Chains A and B, each alone.
Chain A
C-alpha cells in the first residue's frame, strides 16, 4: 500500500513534465506528417522521429528520474519521506515505477503516431508491401524491438538508482560521486557482458520477420538482471547506510 501511495505521489509530482513531453511528441509527429507532401522520398520523413525520440526519450526519462531523487535530498524532503515507515525498496520502486510509467506513456504515444506515419508512408508506395503485411510486421517485430527498448531503459533506471545512492554515501560532492559511480557501473556491466559473450552466443537469437535480420536478446536480459541487483543494493544501502 505504501508503494502505491508513493507511486501516486511521484506521478502527481511529475505530471507537468509528463504532459509537456507528450505534447512535444505530438508536435513532432504533426510536423513529420506535414513534411510528407514536401519531400520527394517520403520514407526519409521516418528518420526524423526515430532520431528525435529513440535515444533522447531514454535520456529524458533517466534525467527526470535522477532529478526526482536529487530534489528529495536538495529540498530535504527526505526527512519527511524517510520519517514514514517505508523501506528503501519501496521508495526506489515508486520512483522507478513512475519513471517506467512515464516512459511507457511516451513510447505508447510515439508507437501509435509512428505506426500511423509508417502506414501513411508505405501506402503511398504502390505495390511495395500490402497494408496487412505492414500491420503484421509492425506488431510482431515492433513488439520484440519495443521490449528490448523498454528493458534497456528500465536497466538504466536501476543503475542510476545505485549510482545516486552511492553518491549520497560520499561526505561531499554527491553529484560528482553519483555521476562517477554511474560511469563505473556502466563500465563494469560492459566488462561483464564481454565476459558473458561466449555464453550468449550459444543461446537462441530472435529473428525479425521484416527482412532477414535478427538480434541477440540475452544481452538485454542480462542487463536487466544486473540492474535488478543494482536497485536491490541501492535499497539496502538506503536502509542500512545512508543518513538523511
Chain B
C-alpha cells in the first residue's frame, strides 16, 4: 500500500495534505488520530471509493479503483449493508461479487459473533452490525483489509469478539490490515505498525515496539501525548 503525495480536498477543506507513505505487506497497521484527521479519507482512497485530488493511492502496485476492489475488504464505520436483507442474504449477496468469500467461514464467524442467519439487518443493534460487517470481511481471503473504526460506539463484549475474530483469522505475512481506531488501549497489542495522523498530515509513524521503546510509553499514552 503506497500513498504518493496524496492530496484530498472536499470543496475548500483539505482532508489529506500530500501524504507520502508505504505500508509493508503482511502487517497490522493502526491508523490513529482525532476526528477529522483524515483516517477515513485515507481508507476510502485505498478502497477506491473516493478519488484523490492529486497524487495517487496504490494497492498492491495498482492505482486504487475497480481493478483493486476484489483485493480489498473494506469495512466502514457505519452500517453500509442493506437493512431489508437478512444476515444470510447479505452473505450470499456479497459472495456474488467476491469469489474469495468463504461461505463456511462466514457461517462460522456469524455463529461465533452470536448472530442468527435469518435476522433482518435492520433489526440488528449497533454492536451486532459491527460484528456482522467484520464477519463478512474476515470471511474473505483478500490480501488487504481496511477497517474504519470497527470498535467505535459498541459494547465491550462486541469489541472483545471483534478483536478475537480479527486475531484468529489474520494471516501474518500475507494479509495487510489497516485499522483506524480510538480504542487504542484495547487493540494496541495487535498493532505491528502505527501511523499518527493530524489534520491530514503524518505526524509520527513507525513499528509499534520501536515507538514504545523510543518514547518509553505505551501507544495509548503516546496517543494522549500527541493529541493533547
Give the top 9 A-B pairs by smallest Cβ distance, nearest first: A79-B80, A84-B97, A243-B50, A5-B96, A85-B69, A85-B70, A244-B49, A80-B80, A171-B11
- Provide the residues of chain A in CB contact with B94, threshold 8 Å: 80
Residue pair A243, B96 in contact (C-beta under 8 Å): no
Q: Give complex CA distance A83, B43 in Å.
A: 12
Mark each residue of chain B from 35 to 64: 1 if its CB lies under 8 Å from any CB of chain A, else 0.
000000000100111110000000000000
Mark each residue of chain A from 122 to 149: 1 if its CB lies under 8 Å from any CB of chain B, else 0.
0000000000000000000000000000
Q: Give complex CA distance A171, B11 in Å.
A: 7
Mark each residue of chain A from 203 to 244: 1 if its CB lies under 8 Å from any CB of chain B, else 0.
000000000000000000000000000000000000111011
Q: Give complex CA distance A79, B82 in Å.
A: 11
Q: How many A residues, CB 8 Å from partner?
A: 23
Binding site for B on A (CB under 8 A): 1-2, 5, 9, 13, 75-80, 82-87, 171, 239-241, 243-244
- Provide the residues of chain A in CB contact with B83, threshold 8 Å: 75
Binding site for A on B (CB under 8 A): 10-11, 44, 47-51, 66-67, 69-70, 72, 74, 76, 78-84, 93-94, 96-98
- Provide the residues of chain A in CB contact with B50, threshold 8 Å: 243-244
Residue of A2, A75, A77, A80 with most partner-chain B CB within 10 A: A80
Quote the shortest CB–CB distance from B35 to chain A (angstroms): 18
Interface of A, helix, strand, loop or mixed by DSSP: loop
Q: Give 8 pairs: A residue, B residue, CB < 8 Å, sorted on A.
A: A5-B93, A75-B83, A76-B76, A76-B78, A77-B80, A83-B69, A171-B11, A239-B66
Interface of B, helix, strand, loop or mixed by DSSP: loop
Q: Give complex CA distance A188, B72 in Å.
A: 41
Which one, B10, B80, B82, B96, contacts A13 given CB within 8 A?
B82
Q: Give complex CA distance A77, B82 in Å.
A: 6
Quote the shortest CB–CB distance from A95 to chain B (angstroms): 14
Q: Give complex CA distance A84, B142 in Å.
A: 12
- Provide the residues of chain B in CB contact with A239, threshold 8 Å: 66
Which one, A76, A83, A171, A240, contacts B51 given CB within 8 A?
A240
From known contacts A77-B81, A87-B66, infer whether A82 and B96 are also in contact, taking CB-CB under 8 Å: no
Residue of A nearest to B148 (CB): A79
Quote the shortest CB–CB distance from B222 to chain A (angstroms): 31
Residue pair B96, A2 in contact (C-beta under 8 Å): yes
- Provide the residues of chain A in CB contact with B47, threshold 8 Å: 83
Quote the shortest CB–CB distance from A136 to chain B (angstroms): 46
Quote the shortest CB–CB distance from B6 to chain A (angstroms): 14
Residue pair A9, B93 in contact (C-beta under 8 Å): yes
Residue of A nearest to B47 (CB): A83
Q: Give complex CA distance A50, B80 in Å.
A: 42
Residue pair A82, B97 in contact (C-beta under 8 Å): no
From known contacts A13-B82, A77-B80, A244-B44, infer whether A84 and B49 are also in contact, taking CB-CB under 8 Å: no
Residue of A nearest to B8 (CB): A243
